Amino acid sequence: MALIHKIDLAAMVHASNRADRPIAPNSRKQVTAFNSENGELNITAPGDSECMQTAEKYSFPLRIDVKVKTNDSNIRLYYKEGRVIFNWERNKDELRVHDMMTGKGFGYYDMGRVPENEYVEISWIIDKNEMLVLVNEELRLLEESYPYMTSRAVAQNKEICEHVRISAAWKSTITVKSLTITELDK
């Protein structure tokens, strides 16, 4: 049975977007603000090393659903070593996807642009045999050959449990309206 978790955005915590780039509290440059009146989380990042992460960890396979907008670029979602980037600063039309086990990046042209200053609903489904990315219920990516799908951990059904992270980057600001994580049946 799938477990659905509606994330309390006020409970998100500051983190690094990579295990090899720890961020000391006194060197944090990302600006975040939770607006208790409308329940939105605003994130502005000067670089690409900081993010906000869920307080809890969630088990693979999973589905991440977020309602979010950007003022310009870089809506970034992370799980383990994987990431999905919309409106990437180097090419807003390219959807950037990184494998969750290896971190290896892949680019998909004409699939990554989302409108600026307008909420979009993004779904990132990371399953054992496929990965899907949807924007406003429109399929942007269906991939069945990422390295994680053939990894020993996935093949042996080992427990993979990580935080979900979200960020802006390179002076962009994102506004998160909602975040839901569904742990899918194994």
Residues in the chain where the model's pLDDT stays below 50:
none
Per residue in 56-88, pLDDT (tens digit) is: 999 999 999 999 999 999 999 999 999 999 999
Residue 185 pLDDT: 86
Closest CA to 164 of 3, 45, 53: 53
What pLDDT does residue 95 have? Answer: 98
Edge-to-edge strands of the sheet including 75-79? 13-16, 50-53, 164-167, 75-79, 82-86, 95-98, 105-108
Which CATH number covers residue 27? 2.60.120.560
Task: Quote the tokens at residue 49.
Answer: 């090393």
What's the pTM value of the predicted model, to 2 decimals? 0.94
pLDDT value at residue 156: 79
Domain count, the chain: 1
The range of the structural domain enclosing residue 148 comes to: 3-183
Q: Say how many Å lie between the first and final Cα of the chain, rounded.
A: 9
Backbone angles phi, psi at 132, to 5 degrees: -125, 145
Torsion, Cα of 66, 142, 118, 87 (10° steps): 100
Residue 158: its pLDDT value, please?
83
pLDDT value of residue 49: 87
Write out pLDDT tens, residues 87-101.
Answer: 999 999 999 999 999
